[in-house]
Amino acid sequence: MAASGTIDALSQFKLHTVFGPIGASVNFTQANLFMVIAGVLTLALLWYGMRPRAMVPGRFQSAAEMAYQAVMSMCVDTIGPEGKKFFPFIFTLFFFILLGNLLGVWPYDFTFTSHIAVTLAMALFVIFLVTVVALRIHGLHFFSYFMPSGVPVALAPLLIPIEILSYLSRIISLSVRLFANMMAGHVMLDVFGAFVVMLGSAGLIGYFPAAFALAVNVALIGFEILVATLQAYVFAILTCIYLHDAVHLH
């Protein structure tokens, strides 16, 4: 936060251990804590929502069913009928990221998706999975993916490295997109929050701009909620598209 006139927008991403000496001894940081919370909330929604098993669902059951159906339709529409096999993975991924993003908008909460280490780990896992799936389904034929059809063989030494780089760059683009969106949003929130404090304490002349900065922050919060949801969706649907490529190999 803004301590005495300087805007320190990045310290909010600093990790520190929680739960006192116990957490410190195993390096259990607040990021880990919020990962656990995100997982528990997802499970709680599903467990608590599906407990009644009513024909006409109540509120929580509707929410749980909608969550299921939205992800299921995303899988099947994007990957194809084989998408059902990947539903558990996509569901977990989507809700982990979604809750991580949304929890971060809540005051005092930590956004674990604003760390490149987290998003890069997830992206690496996705690409690893996609490659394994492709190898499993197509065997060594998978490597024809890197050689575009109808191209003279003489160009292969140039094109294959480019295709491989393009394939591997998904790791970077997938992780950086999520990380940059979350981090930029929270930096902006912090900067405008600091404006409110600094201008508001500048006396009468600062009140109007301070109110303006506060209004901007209100709008930014709404924008953040949009971005949080959208980025979780984007991550999940891109994973689906990559899986589609792996399954069908065109």
Partner 1 sequence: MSGTEGGQGSSEGESFDARLRAARERQGLEAPPGTSGRSDAGGLPTSALGIGLRVAVELVSALILGVAIGWGLDHWLHTAPVFIALFVLLGGAAGVLNVWRLMGPGQRPRDRGD
What residues make contact with partner 1 under the rule CB under 8 A?
55-56, 69-70, 72-74, 76-78, 80, 161-163, 165-166, 168-173, 176-177, 180, 230, 234, 237-238, 240-241, 244, 248, 250
Query: Any idea which residue has 């969106």 for tokens?
Result: 181
179 token code pair: 């990380």
Angle at 201 between CA 200 and CA 207, to 5 degrees: 30
Residue 74 C-beta: closest distance to partner 1, Å: 6
Q: C-beta of 40: minimal distance to partner 1 in Å? A: 26
Nearer to partner 1, 33 or 176 (CB): 176
Judged by beta carbon, residue 34 or residue 86, the one nearer partner 1 is 86
Cβ of residue 173: shortest distance to partner 1, in angstroms?
Answer: 4
Q: What is the spatial distance between Cα 209 and Cα 207, in angstroms, rounded to a whole number?
A: 6
Q: In the complex with partner 1, which residue's Cβ is closer, 25 or 173?
A: 173
- Nearest distance in Å: CB 106, partner 1: 24
Given the complex with partner 1, which of 66 and 132 has the nearer CB atom? 66
213 in Cβ contact with 195 (< 8 Å): yes
SS3 6: strand
Q: Given the complex with partner 1, which of 7 and 76 has the nearer CB atom?
A: 76
Q: Is residue 19 helix, strand or coil? A: coil
Question: Residue 72 — φ and ψ, nearest 5°?
Answer: -60, -45
Give the up-direction half-sphere exposure of residue 209: CA atoms within 13 A in the CB hemisphere.
13
Report, in Å, the least distance between residue 243 CB and partner 1.
Answer: 11
Residue type, 26: V
